[in-house]
Amino acid sequence: MSTRTYLALAAAGLLTLGLSGPASAFHDGGVAHCDGCHSMHNSADNPIGAGTAAGQVQAATANGTLLKGSDPSSTCLNCHYGSGGYHIMSADGSNTSQGGDFYWINTDYSYNPGHGSDKTSVKQNHGHSIVAADYGLAADPDNAAAPGGSYTSANLGCNSCHNPHGSGDTAGGKAAISGSGSYGAAAPTDGSVLGDYRILGGVGYQTDGVTFTAAAPLARATNVSGGSYGGIVDYGKGMSEWCANCHGSFTGSTTKHPAGNGETLPVEFVNNYNQYVATGNFTGDITGAGSFDGLVPIERQVTDTTTLSADPTAGASVNSNVMCLTCHRAHASANENAGKWDFQSEFVAESHALVSPDLDLTTAAVYYKAGTNGMTMNDIVGEYGEWQRPLCNKCHVQD
C-alpha cells in the first residue's frame, strides 16, 4: 500500500466525526470513503425523490453529481443535521459549534425592543444563507451577491467555503490539529502535506467564478469542552484575509474595524482587552495572563500553528488584531449579522432572541461562549453578570 496520505474528501463538512481506530474522523486529512457523500449510479442512496434525514423535504430529482443530497449543502447536512456534537444545524437552535447553527437562517422571530411596537428579526439576517433544498434552506432574498464581493447568493453552499475534496498547502506553519480537518494529534511522517484548517478552500480554490487568492487561515482547535464540537479556537493568522476572498471590501485600514492586512491592536485596546472581565469588572491582568475570552477571540498574528495553544488563556498583545470571527459566527447565530452577541441590545441578558415571544429558548443556547457546552440565560448571568453590556466593550470599554 502506498504511504501517500490523501487529503480530505467528504462534502464540505465543517467538523469531525469521532471514530475509533487509526482514522479518528471522517474529515481527518485523508480521503474518506467516496460513498460517504456520493452514490454510484441512481441507487437507493440517490433516487429520484430522495429524502432520508429528519427534517428533510423531498428532493425533486436525482442530481447529476451523484451526491446523496439534491445539492452539496444538503449532502453535508445528511450527517451534520442534528443536535450537539459535530452538527451545524439543529431543530431548535441549540447547537454550540464554533460556526453557529444554521437553524437561525430558517427562523424568523418577533421581539419588543423596549420602546414602540414589536419588530421582526428575519432569518436571512442571521448569517450565511446557504442553499440546501432538502432542508428547506434557500438563497438570501435581499442580497443577490456577497456583501463586499461578487459571489452569487443563489450558489452559496457549504462548498463555497469548504473544499469538499480537501485543500493541501505545502507552505510552512501548518500543524496537525485534531478536529479541524487535519490529521489528528500528530503530523504524518511520510511526507504528505497537511490539510487546511476546517478543509477551507486554499489558494486557487475556484467556486462560482471566484478564485481564492488568500490562503486558508492558520488556527488551532482545542478539544477542551468539546473540541471542534464547540470548544475554543486559538487563531494564528489570516482569518479576515481569507474571508475577503468573497467579502473583499470589508478588510483594510479604510474600514471601521481594520481586520486583517497586518492591522494590529493599538496599545489602548490591548490593555482594555486584558483588563476587562465584565461590565464594571476590570480586574484582568494587564499583561494578558488568563485574559483570553473564547467568545471574543483575537488573532495572534503568528505564522506557525505549533505556537498556538490547545487551551488558550493568554490575552492580547501588540501583535494581536481583531478579525471577522472576533465578533461574528462563521455560519449563523440568533443575532443580526451572525453576531456572537446581540449588537442591538443594551444588555446581553435582554438579547432579542432571548426575549422573543415566538421562541422557547429554555434549553437552546442562543448566546453561547466558546469553550463551554452552551450558555443559557442563567449561564449568562453567572458568567458576566445580570447587567452585562455588549462584548464590544472587551476592547472599547464604554460601559
Which secondary structure element, helix H or strand E, spans residue 383, and what is its range?
A: helix 377-384
**Whole-angstrom Cα distance, residue 47 to residue 67?**
10
pLDDT at 308: 84
Cβ pair 353, 306 in contact under 8 A:
no
pLDDT at 247: 92
pLDDT at 9: 34
For residue 183, give the nearest of 392, 8, 48, 2 by alpha carbon: 8
Beta carbons within 10 angstroms of residue 116's beta carbon = 7
Cβ pair 182, 195 in contact under 8 A:
yes
Q: Where are the alpha helices (DSSP H) in the chain?
A: 72-80, 158-161, 239-243, 267-275, 324-327, 352-355, 377-384, 393-396
Which secondary structure element, helix H or strand E, spans residue 284, and what is its range?
A: none
For residue 206, give the nearest of 253, 239, 234, 245 by alpha carbon: 245
Cβ pair 222, 312 in contact under 8 A:
yes
Per DSSP, 377 falls in state: H
pLDDT at 73: 96
pLDDT at 158: 95
**Whole-angstrom Cα distance, residue 118 to residue 129?**
24
Q: Which residues of the chain have pLDDT under 70?
A: 1-32, 42-64, 167-194, 222-231, 252-256, 261, 362-380
pLDDT at 116: 81
At a CB cut-off of 8 Å and minimum separation 6, what does 360 contact? none
pLDDT at 243: 94
Cβ pair 283, 228 in contact under 8 A:
no
**Interval 377-398: pLDDT, tens:** 556 677 788 899 999 999 999 9
**Interval 64-95: pLDDT, tens:** 678 888 899 999 999 899 987 788 999 988 88
